[in-house]
A and B are shown apart, each in its own frame.
Chain A
Amino acid sequence: MSTTVGRSLGRYRAPIVVVAMLSSLLLIVPFLVLVATSWTSGSFILFPPEGFSLDWYAEVLADPEWTESFRLSLWTAALSTAIAAVLGTLAAIGLTRVRHTTARRWIRTLFIVPIALPPIAYAVGLYGVTVDLPFLRGTLATLVVGHALIALPYVFVIVSGGIARIDPALRPAASTLGARWPLILWKIELPAILPYLLSGALFAFVVVFDEVVLAVFLMPPGEQTLPLQMLNASQEAFSPELTAASTLVSGLALLVLAIVPVGRVLRRRAGRAASPRPAEGQAAPEGVTP
């Protein structure tokens, strides 16, 4: 696949790749600086770091405050992302069924509002609700719901971009053949937008995983998400724990990125062994979808 698109770019291919490599420096260089600061044997973040030690990694991994907050962040973010993924996809698909152009335009705009709303304002509003409804206090429910709302537009926007790619002739065709809408949704539309759904969910997860403003307002006392713990580590002094923890998270993510394609190749091999010619129609996106 890569070769097809690559070949089609012809003489523009090399300059495009060069621009991309330069752009990737914007992403890599600050990261490397941060990693370097986490090696320090000193007690705060400095570049160039003083000496070399892995003490701060040991500190983070041994401290239950860090590991617990990581676990908590992981599952609350997963829950919020799951809600956002389901509802965001329904919203994107459902909107294509709305015939009225103006209504469609307004509903679409509505689904983007959560990104435009300043987090502090949303947090104040949500906090006001929990103050009015005391049974919500001391639980993580409001945080999960709030995060799901913030995450939803990412799924919605990316999936909407993907729906445009579905062949408009497929639905009527399937419908004529007697398929009802849930079947069409399941067999035609969902498989087609799955890669977009995954990208959208990835964004949703990453955004929620890093969200701190709502967490400051809504966390039950005594519990910390990872961003809150990081905030704590940046009060009064920037502790190298901060960059060590952040390097560990990125490293883990990179590991997952490296494992996913390997897993996919293995599965494909297994599939090939079972049936010599995989069905063409199932064309899952090749390459890596992190």
Chain B
Amino acid sequence: MPSLTMPRARADARGRKPLGVSRAEHRWLLWPPLIFFAVALGFPLLTLVRRSLEGGGAAYADAFEVPAFTGSLVRTVVMAAVVMALTMVLGSLYALAVVASPTWLRFGLLAALVLSLWTSIMVRSFGWMLLELPRGALHWFLDLLGLADEPIELYQTTAGMYPAMVAVMLPFAVLPVMTALQSIDRQQLSAATIFGAGPWLTFRAVTWPQIMPSVLSGGVLVFVMSLGFYVTPLLLGGPGNMTVSGVINAQMNQANRPDIGAAMSILLVGGTMVVYLLADRLFRVSEKWG
């Protein structure tokens, strides 16, 4: 979309709150979602908090007594950070490639995204399992090429887990960036080229500032979603990669301790909010999102 000013001016503008925001505007825009949240999130969350406090708060102490909890918590955060970093890099490149490719290839790249996105995550994890088993599809394929005799040692290793997790998250990083790229100001790009800027300078000065908010969107989504990984790392990475969701599920279901499960969930949500607020401070997400 053609814009009247340079986008960089936007990022520099401080105290840029638009003029004349009426109270009616507030009421009509922000209140409906807030009320919806109060009802749809507030009530269930209240049930959860009540449940976690049933034993007078003992559930919070008990949560840390569960031997697998703290370890899995740390592991989950590290895992989410790794997945986010990998996905943001690959996703941005993927989005650039989609926009910069000839039509046939663009369709191929998009088709890959769509096919993956529309396959249930459970089924997809299962596909990865069939692929990575010591004598699975990958072994079968390498065998066809005469490259493999021994079973492949990939299933239930950390190396076998990340590709699947990145694949699950990739569409969430690609699509926002692609959307931004499709509405990029082409006159600026042409201008930069005409005035002799090299590809790197053009990217840094023109393209990057325009897609960066969307790269951040993708990164936020991927990180927070990755905190919820459960079956994929267990199945493909082995039980040594148990995440906090797995521990919470075990407390809620098998252990029949919904109070501990609730306490853990509330700690997880609180922790995520703290991480997010910190990231917001560090990377100024709020400001970049206008």
Is there any pair of Cβ atoms, one from A and one from B, under 8 angstroms apart in the complex? yes
Binding site for B on A (CB under 8 A): 1-2, 4-13, 16-17, 19-21, 23-24, 26-31, 33-34, 36-37, 45, 47-48, 83, 86-88, 90-91, 93-99, 101, 104-122, 124-126, 128-129, 132, 145-146, 148-149, 152-154, 156-158, 160-172, 175, 181-182, 192, 195-196, 199, 202-203, 206, 210, 212, 226-227, 230-231, 234, 238, 242-243, 246, 249-250, 252-254, 257-258, 280-281, 283, 285-290
Pick out which of these stretches binds chain A: B55-63, B66-74, B152-160, B186-194: B186-194
> What are the nearest 5 A-B pairs in CB distance?
A125-B44, A94-B29, A10-B199, A20-B97, A94-B30
B176 contacts which of A27, A86, A107, A196 (Cβ < 8 Å)? A196
Known contacts A20-B98, A105-B280, A113-B269; A30 and B128 CB within 8 A of each other: yes
In angstroms, Cα B99 to Cα A160, docked, is 22
Q: Which of B4, B119, B288 contacts A249 (CB 8 A)?
A: B119
Cβ contact within 8 Å between B30 and A21: no
Asked if residues B110 and A202 are in contact (CB atoms below 8 Å), the reply is no
**Which of A29, A88, A90, A257 makes the CB contact (< 8 A) with B30?**
A90
Q: Is B147 an interface residue (CB 8 A)?
A: no
Closest chain-A Cβ to B48's Cβ sits at a distance in Å of 4
- Closest residue of chain A to B37 (Cβ to Cβ) is A110
- Name 5 extra pairs, CB < 8 A, besides A20-B93, A124-B258: A110-B37, A119-B228, A250-B114, A254-B114, A281-B2
A272 to B202, CA, bound (A): 33
Chain B nearest CB, measured from A10 CB (Å): 3
- Could you tell me the distance between the alpha carbons of A11 and B200 in the complex, rounded to whole angstroms? 9
In the bound assembly, the distance between CA atoms of A48 and B258 in angstroms comes to 42
Q: List 7 A-B contacts (CB under 8 A).
A: A17-B97, A24-B109, A34-B130, A125-B45, A129-B43, A158-B179, A164-B213
Q: Per a CB cutoff under 8 Å, which of A34, A148, A202 touches B119?
A: A34
Q: How far is the CB of B17 from chain A (nearest CB, A)?
A: 5
Q: Can you list, as one digit per residue, whether each of B1-13 has a CB less than 8 Å from chain A (1) or not (0)?
A: 1111101001001
Task: Tell me what chain B mostly uses at the interface: helix, strand, loop, or mixed.
Answer: helix
**A196 — which chain B residues lie within 8 A by C-beta?**
176, 179, 214
Chain A residue with the shortest CB-CB distance to B91: A23
Which of A94, A114, A175, A238: most chain B Cβ within 10 A?
A: A94
Q: Which residues of A contact B122 (CB under 8 A)?
A: 212, 227, 230-231, 234
Q: How many B residues, CB 8 Å from partner?
A: 139
What distance in Å separates the Cβ of A109 from its nearest Cβ neighbour in chain B? Answer: 5
Instruction: List chain B residues, Cβ under 8 A from A146.
Output: 40, 44
A283, B186: Cα distance in complex, Å: 12
What are the interface flags for B164-199 relative to A under an 8 Å C-beta threshold, 1 for contact and 0 otherwise? 101100111001101111111010011011000011
Report B273 CB to chain A, min CB distance, Å.
5
Contact status of A109 and B276, CB under 8 A, knowing A129-B44, A257-B110 = yes
- Which residues of the partner chain B approach A30 to less than 8 Å between Cβ atoms? 124, 127-128, 130-131, 164, 167
Chain A residues near B149 (CB, 8 Å)? none
- Contact: A154 with B175, CB < 8 Å? no
A17-B100, A253-B115 as given contacts; A23 in contact with B221, CB under 8 Å:
no
- Asked whether B100 lies within 8 Å of A9 as measured between CB atoms, the reply is yes
